[in-house]
A and B are shown apart, each in its own frame.
Chain A
Amino acid sequence: MELLFLLPIFLPLLTAIFLFFNKNLFNELITNFFTLNSALLSFAISFYVFVMLALDKFQPISYSIFQWTNTPDIKIDFTLDGLSGIMLLLVTGLSFIIQLFSTSYMETDEKHNNYFVYFNFFVFSMLLLVMSSNFLVMFFGWELVGLSSYLLISFWSKKPEAAKAGNKAFILNRVGDFGFLIGLMIILNTFNTFDFYTVLKSASDVPENTITLITLFLLLGAFGKSAQFPLFSWLPDAMEGPTPASALIHAATMVTAGVFMLVRISPILQHSKIAGMVIISFGLITTLLAAFSAINQYDIKKVLAYSTISQLGFMFIAIGAGAYVAAIFHLVTHAFFKALLFLGAGAVIHSMHHEQDIRKMGGLRKQMPVTASMMGIGTLAISGIPPLAGFWSKDEILASVFANGGIYYIFWALGLGAAFLTAFYMGRHWLLIFEKDNGFDHSNVNEAPKTMTRPLIILGLFSIFIGFVNTPFFHGVEKVLHYSLEGVEITHLPEGITLIVLAVLSIGAGFTGLLIAYLIFSFEIFKRFNFKRINLDYPINLIKDLSFNVLYLNKLGNSIFVSGMKNFTRKVAVIVDGLIIDGSVNFVSTAFGKTSRVASATQTGLVRSYVVYFGLFLLLLIGLFIITPMVPQ
């Protein structure tokens, strides 16, 4: 049992290495065969291991591979408990489904084999991250996930935008990792070990300031990885990568690593009030900002990217409010319906022969019925319509925020607004693609092949039913996470009438959002009715403009960091390098030249001056002889 749960981690690695060395030898079929079988095997083993764990009431088990030093305690260690078990299932399951989709999507691509090498490497890194039992192994996984993401984003490396996007992702990630690393150093300094068990148990012994410091630095890492404000701008650009990769990485797994990490350290996190406030505020800013920006995006994948950022914000809000179970639950449900939406978008892109602008689509429901219905399910799920999955998880988050009281009422209201916006832009997204007929000729658009629609159907089913694992009547996820969150004060849902009212309000928000989207984009209310008395053009255009340009935040960041840094470094290059360094080097050489010119004045070439030198030094020698005491024999 102990070794068995390590197998799903290393199987993708072996597959990646195997495919890497044979990537020029294998044709696509063989690669598909190996990778799909490996993914299926990983998932099967993970499922079995998880069931075993469930039967054992989710007691954590761990296994250490390699102990480097004893004090400080540095080792390579893996653990399987409720939290990592959930993530294990999620990652391996989604990996299989998405790889199934990818075999068809990447069919005609010349770098087909490379894709699966990177994909499997990513799965390995992600599993390294979630199955780790100490901060060090988690950091290894953290960094490797960033690397895999870079490899997959800049997959079509000939495109300059793809390469730039890959760089941007990696660099912004790195900024976060810098914070993570400092957090790690403080942890090692304070606790003298990296092990989760030891650190989390002795959290109450450490002063609150240190805890705050540790969590804030680790938080910086989470911001980078999970694309929160201000380190979010890499995620929309990451859409340059292949869509299935985006589905796995930027929807379901890598970006949730930040959330996962924060839940992992929740025994520590709960002691720091400041960190909690920081998390929830940044989460809210991110959610609203991303939701607002998604209103007027035109690229089919960019809408989904901003949606992901927004939903991640939701998870951070949950963590900030102390509802760790809700955060994990939303992570799981979001993984499913976001992967569904991304894969659906991939199917649409594929069928539209790589057209990605949704303004050029419309009325595709006739040509692509399966895709349309599955994406419709995804849209409903994300908008929080019961009994789909999204409703249960989002509602739990909002209710937990409300339950905290005080200033959290305002946070709840803002969260509700974000939920409304979510429904609105997702409704717009679906309607513009599938419903509204813009008069384009789509006769050559066919339904996607079976290997693409089958994963969509599977994910659709999950999106419908997965919500039932953690309703207010059956707290399945809470039971699973019992041992992982031992000692943690979890914010619970309010009881009775409050809960029902809150639920109705959130359903109402979702429904209203969808309705308004329908009215504006399908029913075209602004064209049919003239609102003569109120001139609505200017505010609407303003909203559209600000939304599309993400409140011009990217331009602001660009001018501060990119142009600012360039100017600064140019000044440094001129002043420090040119004046100081070159100046000092030149100074040394000119000084030498001058002194040697002076010194060469002694070389007169005249006998008499040399005689004088003889005399001088002879006398010097004699003087030396006189001064030094010599013993006569």
Chain B
Amino acid sequence: MVDLILFFIPAALIIIGALIVVFAKNPVHNAMGLVMTLVSIAIIYITLNATFVAMVQMLVYAGAVMTLFLFVIMMIGVDKKEQSSESIKGQTFLVSGVFLILISILGYVAISSEFKWDLWFEAVEFAVEGTPQLIAGTLFTAWIFPFEIISILLIVATAAAIALAYDSKRKKKDV
């Protein structure tokens, strides 16, 4: 019973948040919807025994990334009213087409497997705890190479961001 509640409530929040992200008019509402989604995902991570990752997600995503987003929204996208009509020809048609195909595939899968969700691989009985020790042990031994690369990646990203956003002609920054 508790599992169900612990699953369904964050799941509902996720979906609602995602829908807010897609359909809201005000960009700040979008950002808030995204925050809701991210936090709910973190909760689900905890139920899945990935405690460390959940914390990291909370910190990085919901903390840093969303702050960045909000900064940029404030800089750019707040006061402009977005036109609601579609400006690309045939886009609506194509989108609805994709949607229909998706529904049909889903329906086909559901019907052909007779509403049973049989996974090919059996679940393992014991649960693995996502403790920092376990993660660190694997990260710095087996996955050391990708780790080093993404550290380089981070530095590159920072440098790139500064290079891109640097505006030498601009004298004063308006908020």
Contacts and interface: CB of A to CB of B under 8 A. Distances in A.
Direct contact of A and B (CB under 8 A): yes
Interface of A: 604, 606, 608-609, 612, 615-616, 619, 622-623, 626, 632-633
A608 B105 contact: no
A616 B105 contact: no
Nearest to A615: B98
A604 B88 contact: yes
A626 B109 contact: yes
Given A622-B105, A626-B108, A616 B98 contact: yes
- Overall SS of chain B's interface: helix
Given A619-B98, A632-B120, A612 B105 contact: no
A448 B7 CA distance: 132
Contacts of A619: 98, 101-102, 105
A609 B88 contact: yes
B175 interface: no
B91 A609 contact: yes
A608 B102 contact: no
A616 B88 CA distance: 17
B94 interface: yes
B111 to A, nearest CB: 12
Interface string B118-131: 00100000000000
Contacts of A606: 88
B162 interface: no
Which 5 pairs between the two chains have the least Cβ-Cβ distance?
A632-B120, A615-B98, A612-B94, A619-B101, A616-B98
13 contacts: A606-B88, A608-B88, A608-B91, A609-B91, A612-B91, A612-B95, A616-B98, A619-B98, A619-B101, A619-B105, A622-B105, A626-B112, A633-B120
A270 to B, nearest CB: 87
Interface in B60-109: 88, 91, 94-95, 97-98, 101-102, 105, 108-109
A632 B102 CA distance: 24
Contacts, number: 29
A616 B109 CA distance: 17
Interface residues on B, range: 10 to 19
A633 B122 CA distance: 12
Contacts of B105: 619, 622-623, 626
Nearest to B95: A612
Given A612-B98, A626-B109, 11 more contacts: A604-B88, A609-B88, A609-B91, A612-B94, A615-B98, A616-B97, A616-B98, A616-B101, A619-B98, A619-B101, A623-B105
B175 to A, nearest CB: 28
A616 B108 contact: no
Interface of B: 88, 91, 94-95, 97-98, 101-102, 105, 108-109, 112, 120
Contacts of B88: 604, 606, 608-609
A96 B102 CA distance: 101
Nearest to A622: B105
Contacts of B112: 626
A604 B97 CA distance: 18
Nearest to B94: A612
A238 to B, nearest CB: 79
A619 B112 CA distance: 17
A612 B109 CA distance: 22
A609 B86 CA distance: 12
Contacts of A633: 120
Contacts of A622: 105
Nearest to B101: A619
Contacts of B95: 612
B95 to A, nearest CB: 6
A68 B72 CA distance: 94
Contacts of B102: 619
Nearest to A606: B88
A403 B109 CA distance: 105
A81 B63 CA distance: 119
Nearest to A632: B120
Nearest to B99: A615
Nearest to A609: B88
Nearest to A631: B120
Given A604-B88, A609-B88, A616 B94 contact: yes
B93 to A, nearest CB: 10
A612 B98 CA distance: 8
Contacts of A632: 120
A606 B98 CA distance: 17
B88 to A, nearest CB: 6
Nearest to A602: B90
B86 to A, nearest CB: 9
A632 B112 CA distance: 17
A633 B91 CA distance: 42
A623 B101 CA distance: 9
A632 B120 CA distance: 7
A632 B91 CA distance: 39
B28 to A, nearest CB: 23
Contacts of B101: 616, 619, 623
Nearest to A616: B98
A239 B94 CA distance: 85
Nearest to B86: A608
B15 to A, nearest CB: 19
Contacts of A609: 88, 91, 94
A609 B108 CA distance: 26
Nearest to B102: A619
A619 B101 CA distance: 7
A626 B101 CA distance: 13
